[in-house]
Each structure stands twice: as C-alpha cells, then as structure tokens.
Amino acid sequence: MLKKVTVTRYITPLREGGSLPGLVEADDLGTYVVKFTGSAQGRKALVAEVVVGELARALGLRFPELVLVHFDPATGADEPHQEVQDLLHASAGLNLGMDYLPGAKDLTPQAAASFDVDPLEAGRIVWLDALTVNVDRTTHSSNLMVWPTFGIAPPRLWLIDHGAALVFHHRWDLSAPEKTYDFRRHALGRYAPDTRAADAELAPRVTERLLREVLAEVPDAWLEVEAGFTTPDEVRDAYVSYLHARVRASASWLPIDFPGREELAAEDAQRAAKTRRDRPNWLKRVPDLHGKPAAEQDWSVHLG
C-alpha cells in the first residue's frame, strides 16, 4: 500500500506544470512534489498517476516513490499568490506526492541529442505509454528526467507525470481496447525503441492480478462513481477489464514505425513553414518559437 505522510512545510509551487504542483516537506522528513486534488485536471489525473506509476514500478521501470499526502491549507498560509492559495484551499485532505529527485533535469530535445538510451529500455517505456494511452510523452514534452548518479553509474532516465494517460476514463469508452494511437513523435522514438522485445517481455507480466493490486492503491474518494457505476470497486473493475483486454490486444496497437531524426527535422520545418504562411500579416514579424528553439532564432530579422 502507498505510504501516508502529512505535510509539515509548503516550500514553493512548481510552475513548470499546468496543474501547479507544489514542493513540500513531510513528517517522514521526505521532500515531495505534490499534485493537488483541487487542480483543474481533477482527481482522474491522480488516478492515472497512481495506475501508470505503479505499473511502471512493477515492470522494473524507474519511477519515483508515490505517497498519499495529508495536506492542511494552513501549511501554505505564507504563499503570496492568490491563484496558488485558491488551489491549496481547494485541496484540503488527501493528495498525491511523488518523491523529489534533487538535481534531476528534463530530457529536453537538446539534451536528448547527446543522451544515449538502450533500445530495449526505450521500447519498454514506449510500450507502457501505448498500453496506458499516455499522450503526453512527446518530443516537445518528454516527462522524462535524467538523474545523475554522481559518478557511480551513468545518468539514468526516470519517468514522471502521467496525469494525461488513461484517456478512455474521461468518457469511459471501453469499446475498443485494441485502438491504436499515433506515437510517431514519442520522446524516445529517436532511440529505435525495441517495442517487439518489450511486448514479449512485459505483456505476460501485466496480469489481471497485477492490475487489481495496482488499482487497490487508488483511494475510493478519487474513483468517481459516474453513470454506469454504483461503487468505487465497480470503477476499479472497469480499469482492470479495459487494461487487461488491451494487453491481450497488444499486437494491434504495438508502436513499431518511428521516424528517424532527419524525418522529424523535416516535419518540424514543414510545420514551421506552414505556421509562418498561415499567420496574419501583423504577426509575420513575430518569431516562431515553436518552429525552432529561441536560441536559434535570427532575432535581427524581428528587432530590425
């Protein structure tokens, strides 16, 4: 079962995430990144975090420890920003914490160009994302951290932020567990992920028993009893049934076609050209920060 802790100090909001997670200290002397129940993403994002994170851990992927966090809004009374205060006051009670990885850095496109990932490790991560329909691990938003081991071993990849996974639970469309998704722009596509080997290794391990153990970690209060369900356990059963059926249909959705770096660069250039072409005249002198990194922009064109 997930460990339970109580926040003793609210340190700061982390504005890199749209859900405004917060960095806190807890009564076990640990430091955690907390995702709050009062955020715009709601409790289903926390369910996805638990399900995908605990599946990742069970399958041997590196994922920070999750804890259930009791939060008193008075702990953040000194936070000066009203939007953060509103979030904290809407999140009294049980929230979700992730062990903080000090010194870890985002796997950005620039960092990825010089960071090596084993094709099988890349394949395992892509396979998990495809199974859980995680649409938020792309070349532009990897949700992967590189954590140094201070000379003991090479830096390693850690998975974070799975709130956008399990997209089926927003409308509870359970009709097509074999449905494919476009993973061409997956953050690890450039590393030739060996998804076939990952499927042969991981699919037999994602059993109905494992899925039930993972769903048992989700608090009842986060499992929304919507139309078609009458109890939290029925909601758990729906997650288990869908994911178990999806595992069995892996041959239908297994991502195997990943473009090379040159193809991705060509697609980026084409998209940037279309963006510039479609801009209204008054915007045509504004730099296209999505077409290429700001550091590579020719600012003299725009600043005269």
CB-based burial label for 67 (10 Å; 0-12, 13-18, 19+): buried
Q: pTM value?
A: 0.86
* pLDDT, tens digit, 9 for 90 and up, residues 49-100: 999 999 999 999 999 999 999 999 999 999 999 999 999 999 999 999 999 9
Segments of the chain with pLDDT less than 70: 17, 149-153, 279, 281-304
At residue 299, the pLDDT reads 28
CB-based burial label for 166 (10 Å; 0-12, 13-18, 19+): buried
* pLDDT, tens digit, 9 for 90 and up, residues 157-191: 999 999 999 999 998 988 899 999 889 889 999 89
At residue 300, the pLDDT reads 30
At residue 260, the pLDDT reads 72
Alpha helices in the chain (DSSP H): 43-58, 82-89, 109-112, 119-131, 195-202, 208-215, 232-248, 250-253, 261-278, 299-303
At residue 270, the pLDDT reads 84
At residue 173, the pLDDT reads 84
At residue 290, the pLDDT reads 45
Dist. CA 247–CA 166, nearest whole Å: 14
